[in-house]
Every structure is written in C-alpha cells, then in structure tokens.
A and B are shown apart, each in its own frame.
Chain A
Amino acid sequence: MSYALVVAEVRRGVFEERNLDSFGLSSLLGKEIVLVVPDGPYSFNERLADTIVKVKAGEEVFLNPLNLVDIIEQVMNGRGKPDCIVFTHSSSGMESAPYVAGTFGLPVVTDVSAINKDEGVFYKSYYSDKIFGEFKCTGQGPWVLTVRSGSFKDAAAEKADAAKVEYIEGVAASDKRVFLEYVEEEKTEIDITKAEFLLSVGRGVGNKDEIPTYEELAGMLKATLSGSRPVIDKMWLPKPRQVGTSGKTVKPKVYLAMGISGAFQHIAGMKDSDCIIAINKDAGAPIFQYAHFGVIADMHKVRDKLKDMLKS
C-alpha cells in the first residue's frame, strides 16, 4: 500500500494545529494517510486520515524519539513501509525525525515548505530563507520529512469515508530517556500578547546598551517592547518578551519590527498582526515579504529621528 505515515504532535492534551500541515503535504502527494497518535480524548478532524492508529501510551511516552522508533516499527508491521514519514517541524519533530531516519537508514529532509509533485522534489530553506534548496531523494524511501508550519495546511483534505481506527496496545518505553515534568515559564507583569502596539527589536539592535533607548522610544510611542530570538538568547530582554514559536504568538493592531530579519519561527509568532511595519537595513530580509509597510534603513537612525519628532 502506498501511504504517508503522519506522526501526530499532541502536547498537554492538545492536538497541535500544525499537524494540519503534515496532512496537507500528504494530501498534495496524493497518498493515503495513516495517522499515528497517542490514544486520548483529543479533538481533531478525524476525517483527514484514512486510518488512525491510536497508541495506548501517554503523549510524553509517545513524543520520545527512543519510543517512536518502536511505535513506527509496529505501524509498519503487516502494513509494509510507507512512502514517507511526516513530522511537524517543531521541537518534537526536529528531535524525532532525524533519529527515526538514522534508526531505519532513511533519507531525511527537514523544514520542507514547498513541493513539486510532478518532479518529485522538495524545497527547504537555506541561509535564513534567502535561498531554497531543491531536493530529490536518491535512496530508497520512505522519505522522512518535517514540515514547516503554515506551509500546507490549506491542502489538508477530508476523506470520503470515516477513518478506520486501530490500536497499538503497548510500547517498549525506553528507560534511557525519560520524561520527568513540564516546566512552565514564569509569569511576569507585562503580557505582550495583550498589547495593542508592540515595538519589537531583533539582532540588528547590535548591543545591550541600545536596549534602554528602545525602551524609551516604546515609552514615547506608548508601545510595549518585545524582541526576537537573538535578543532573548543574549539575555538582553527577558524570555516572556519573546515573539515567535518558542516564545509568544501575538496579534497586536500594530507590530513594528526593527532590526528583525524574519526567521520563520518569528514570522509564525506575529504574522496575524493587523498591521506589520518592518524596518531593516537588509533589503533582502524575509520580513519584508510579510510586512504591510517596509523601510530599508538603519534602525538606530530611524529611532533617533522618531524620538526627535515625538519630542517636538
């Protein structure tokens, strides 16, 4: 049987929306879809799969690369190898897909954001989205893929018939890598998800000493200051101020991005803002593709000019 094996991502009882992109890619490839998911009361559109294999294990056992190889082996037993094994390009997919590929000796392409089905090629981003690599698998499949969130979800198509449901009764859970607990982020006074106007700074800010000057600008504009990953990694702004998939998803009326090039993880966290304004000196920065208004300029010069104007 020619099928795509979609490995579902479930976190804290929620069937993650980015799973839709895995369904979408598999539909575009014209494959029958076998979804493997930890057994539980998650609500999702079961019509998107032809077969649902429910694994009697908790999500924390399921989303562990050492256990997933056993689960995938069980799915393939009696069914044969799929044409592709599809993961979300997320913390868990990025961890498990290469491990699965390594275990079964399969080709892997991560962060797939486009395909050309007729030519059998996948596209993945290089150099912070400035270049796409066009890939062909030369080896025997199945291909192991991770799918960029937002890329294929519109292609997810409902099947005519209700999905067939099967169960995997047990998993050989590894004792070499064991989930202990979830750790929540500390609560802070400022919640950037509630702000109507965010001034967000990125790598272009250059050094820590510049941060207070942007705090000042944000104060003058009555905006809330947030940042992209490089600024948080360097600890120039606290983690709760991070916009992006590993931080917060925000939808302010205005998102003013200064010195942010626009890695997809950042875009995913702010793309639904009503109005996005990007200021960057790199005309090729991907953020200009997503912004409503753009300015190619040194962010510091814009800051100084804005401050002058707002003072007078």
Chain B
Amino acid sequence: MNIVTFTKRVPVTQEEELRITGDGAAVDLSKLPFKVNDWDNYAVEEAVRIVEKVGGSVTAVAMGDAESDEVLRRAIAMGAKDGFLVRIARAIQDPFARAALISNFIKNENVPFDVIFTGVQSEDDQFGSVGGILAALLKLPYSSMVIGIDKVESDHMVIRRELEGGLQERVRISLPCILSIQSGINEPRYVSIMGIRKASKVERKVFQGNAYEAGVGAMIDTVKWVYPPRKKGAMMLSGELDEVCKNLVGILKEKGVYQ
C-alpha cells in the first residue's frame, strides 16, 4: 500500500494576539512559532500505522517555503519513507488553486499511490477543501472526516466518518481514493529531537512549484483581513486571584448549583 500524505507547517496562534498590517493587507505572523498542522499529524500517523501493518511506503508531501522542510523531517521521523517539498514562493490562499497545483504535480511526476491522505483542514485557514477538490480533479472517490479505518484491502477500505452528535457512518470506498483524516483518529507517536535529527539524513526531494502552474488560476481572492465583529462579551472578573475566586463561588451559589 503506497500512501501519499500531505503535511503543512502552520503558525501557532493560540494565546497569541494577531495583528493585521497595511490596512488589511496582511496578518503579521512574523513573531509566531510554527508547527505541524494538527490534522496532518494524525494523517501521517494513520498512514504509517497502515504501512506498518500491511507493508508499502508512506510519502509525505509539503507545499510551501523552504522552512516547510521541518514538517517533512518530522513525518520521516514518524515513519514516512520519503519527503517531497513542492516549493512555492508565497502562500496560495485559494484552495482550488492549491489543489490544482497539487493535481498537476502528482500527474506530472507520476507519484505512485493507492491512497492520498490530507488532514480535514489546516489550522490557519480552516478551509477544509483541498482534499475534496483534489479528488474531483483526479477523478477519485473521496471521503472526509475519517475517524476510523476498519479494514484495508488491496482494492478497497472500510472507513468510519464522523458526523454530528457522536454519530458515525461506516463507508466502503474503492482504491485508489482520497481521504481527509479527522483529528482524534489515533494517538500520534511522540517524535524526539533525536528522531528528527536522524530523519534529516534522509534526503528530501525538492520540486519547484511554478513547474505545475498550468491551468492554475485563483478563483477567489482575499480582499482584505479584518478583525471579527465583537459581541457584547463577558463581564470580566478582575483583581487578585483570591477575590476573583470568591466572586466565582458567589456566582455559583447565586445560580443555585453550589451551596
């Protein structure tokens, strides 16, 4: 089973104040730490687990700048055999354009695969669209929100999709196919700094993204970045921790849930 799995380097934005610069032209990410996209981490882990069980190989692919090599080293440390970097000069906002470029890359380079994994979405743009568009462009069956893979056969898989309210649906999908992996599908293995250092010795192949731009045009355009509208918001309890906690308990008593 050959599995191609996409992985993306994203900024860590929890607990960070994000600033819009140039009157809405850009979001300043320069001071933020970066990491692997959570969903992609689950996807790489799932791919490696399948290959460990049934044989084959995992190829991790990242599209981005030179720094994105970091998430490839990480994927290799987790068990991917190869790491491919498709270098692009600047981030492509439109998921259609991104998927079209990836589709060209896969076709032009004859990347062999039985299954392609993507994460359900990336933490930064939350589009959740590249996997589905790519499947349509490559004319492959598709499933998203994959929260379990119950069976792996040479010509099909039986998977579970996460729906709402704790419900799942079991689906049979023919290979080759594209699956977008939901977070929580597995427990990704720990990756040590030593492991990543060792992975650095495996050569990562670099491809120039502009070679795959034929027919790739953006269909949507970010006009500008804005701060979300603010609601009335919470009444903030401030002061010393002692006082804040007394107030908290006071509220719980008032609401009748604590005596």
Contacts and interface: CB of A to CB of B under 8 A. Distances in A.
Q: Answer whether A and B are interacting partners.
A: yes
Contacts, number: 296
A91 B124 contact: no
B160 A284 contact: no
Interface in A43-82: 60, 65-66, 69
B169 A183 contact: yes
A110 B137 CA distance: 18
B145 interface: yes
B142 A138 contact: no
Nearest to A16: B164
Interface string A251-290: 0111010000100000000000011111001111010111
A92 B133 CA distance: 15
Interface string B80-98: 0000000000000111100
A194 interface: no
Nearest to A295: B237
A289 B236 CA distance: 11
A97 interface: yes
Contact of A181 (B170, B224, B246): B170
A223 B248 CA distance: 14
Contacts of B11: 127
A247 B44 CA distance: 24
B37 to A, nearest CB: 13
Contacts of B17: 283-284
Given A60-B169, A129-B228, A309-B246, A95 B219 contact: no
Interface string B216-259: 01111111111111110111111001101110110110011110
Given A106-B219, A109-B220, A133-B222, A184 B166 contact: yes
Contacts of B127: 110-111, 124
A134 interface: yes
Interface stretch (A28-36, A153-161, A238-246): A238-246
Interface of A: 11-12, 60, 65-66, 69, 90-92, 94-103, 106-111, 114, 121, 123-139, 174-185, 196-197, 203, 221-223, 229, 232-235, 239-240, 242, 245-249, 252-254, 256, 261, 274-278, 281-284, 286, 288-297, 301-302, 305-306, 309-310
Closest 7 CB pairs of A and B: A102-B136, A98-B132, A139-B219, A294-B234, A233-B184, A107-B219, A185-B166
24 contacts: A12-B167, A65-B142, A94-B121, A94-B144, A99-B133, A102-B99, A102-B137, A103-B136, A107-B96, A111-B127, A128-B123, A132-B225, A134-B223, A177-B141, A177-B142, A177-B143, A177-B177, A182-B169, A183-B167, A203-B14, A246-B165, A284-B18, A293-B235, A306-B248
